[in-house]
């Protein structure tokens, strides 16, 4: 199709040395994440840390808590995920999903569509840390069980970040409209913008008596 995006390989001359995630992922000031290649290096390192058959042709959830830089980062992650072979991406409307909502969605997708359908998700959050252009941003990877990645995976992500030489984006990419619920085809990957609370509310209704509350 004329005008369709293509995969672009971006070379990295020197990896960053400060991308070691903690238990809540990688947290830095927004301006750190806005450095050239910084976000892209870390996201590509997540894929590099996993076996290719674990994510190729699989689904992924991507969303955050709405802090500054959330929307920009989401569009970057979409490009990297598509160019690495993901076939379905689930984004909360306006790029918003709480951390427990991301976890619940990963588990629900695997329950409904098969245990290996969704290999995990990326959560853009720095929890209670302040947000804003001069404040904090965070990114972490959750596994297919919905929980934070295992320590050995986190260690391998950091290991990959110290030796990364390139990452992939999409040439001619038009940002996905995350304000509207619906599905957009991006190079054969279905990017689903979904209601950011409906599924989580349904889960909560199985745990609590809403009428009684």
Give me the residue spans of the domains in the chain. 6-207
- How far is CA 67 from its chain centroid? 15
Mean pLDDT, residues 166-178 taken together:
98
Q: How many CB atoms lie within 10 A of CB 90?
A: 22
pLDDT band at 160 (very low <50, low <70, confident <90, very high): very high
- Pairing status of strand 6-11 against strand 166-171: antiparallel
In percent, how much of the chain has pLDDT > 70? 93
Report which of 155, 197, 202 is spatially closest to residue 50, judged by C-alpha positions.
155
**What average pLDDT does the segment 64-89 reach?**
97
| pLDDT > 70? residue 91 | yes
Q: What is the pLDDT of residue 210?
A: 67
The predicted model gives 89-115 an average pLDDT of 94
- Confidence tier at 62 by pLDDT (50, 70, 90): very high
Q: What is the pLDDT of residues 29-53, one digit of tens each?
A: 999 999 999 999 999 999 999 999 9
CA distances (Å), origin 26, targets 23, 37, 62, 67, 154: 9, 15, 15, 15, 10
pLDDT at 2 over 60: no
Q: Is 185 exposed, middle or buried (0-12, 13-18, 19+ CB in 10 A)?
A: exposed
- The catalytic position among 11, 45, 127, 161 is 127
Average pLDDT over residues 103-130: 94
Per-residue pLDDT at 150 exceeds 60: yes
This prediction's pTM: 0.92
Average of per-residue pLDDT values in the chain: 93
The strands making up 136-142's β-sheet, listed across from edge to edge, are: 26-29, 136-142, 118-124, 59-64, 88-96, 189-194, 182-186
Q: Give me the pLDDT at residue 201, please.
A: 63
Residue 48, pLDDT score = 98
What percent of the chain has a predicted confidence (pLDDT) above 90? 85
- Tell me phi and psi for residue 141, to 5 degrees: -105, 130
CA distance 107 to 68: 27
* Catalytic residue flag (residue 127): yes
What pLDDT is attached to residue 199? 65
pLDDT, average across residues 93-113:
94
Tokens 């509310």 — which residue? 201
Domain 6-207 in CATH 1.10.3720.10 = no
Which pLDDT score, from 0 to 100, does residue 204 have? 65
Q: Which residues contact 48 (CB under 8 A, 6 or more apart)?
A: 160, 164
């Amino acid at each position: 199709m004329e005008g369709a995006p293509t995969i672009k390989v971006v070379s990295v001359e020197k990896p960053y040395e400060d991308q070691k995630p903690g238990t809540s992922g990688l947290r830095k000031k927004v301006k750190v994440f806005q450095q050239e290649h910084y976000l892209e290096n870390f996201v590509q390192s997540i894929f590099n840390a996993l076996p290719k058959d674990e994510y190729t042709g699989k689904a992924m959830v991507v969303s955050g808590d709405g802090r500054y830089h959330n929307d920009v980062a989401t569009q970057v992650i979409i490009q990297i995920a598509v160019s690495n072979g993901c076939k379905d991406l689930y984004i909360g409307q306006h790029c918003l999903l709480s951390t427990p909502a991301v976890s619940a969605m990963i588990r629900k997708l695997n329950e409904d569509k098969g245990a290996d359908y969704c290999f995990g998700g990326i959560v853009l959050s720095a929890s209670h840390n302040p947000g804003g252009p001069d404040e904090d941003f965070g990114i972490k990877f959750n596994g297919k069980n919905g929980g934070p990645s295992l320590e050995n995976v986190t260690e391998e992500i950091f290991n990959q970040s110290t030796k990364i030489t390139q990452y992939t984006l999409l040439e001619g990419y038009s940002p996905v409209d995350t304000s509207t619920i619906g599905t957009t085809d991006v190079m054969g990957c279905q990017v689903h913008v979904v209601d950011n609370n409906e599924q989580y509310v349904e889960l909560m209704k199985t745990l609590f008596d809403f009428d009684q509350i």
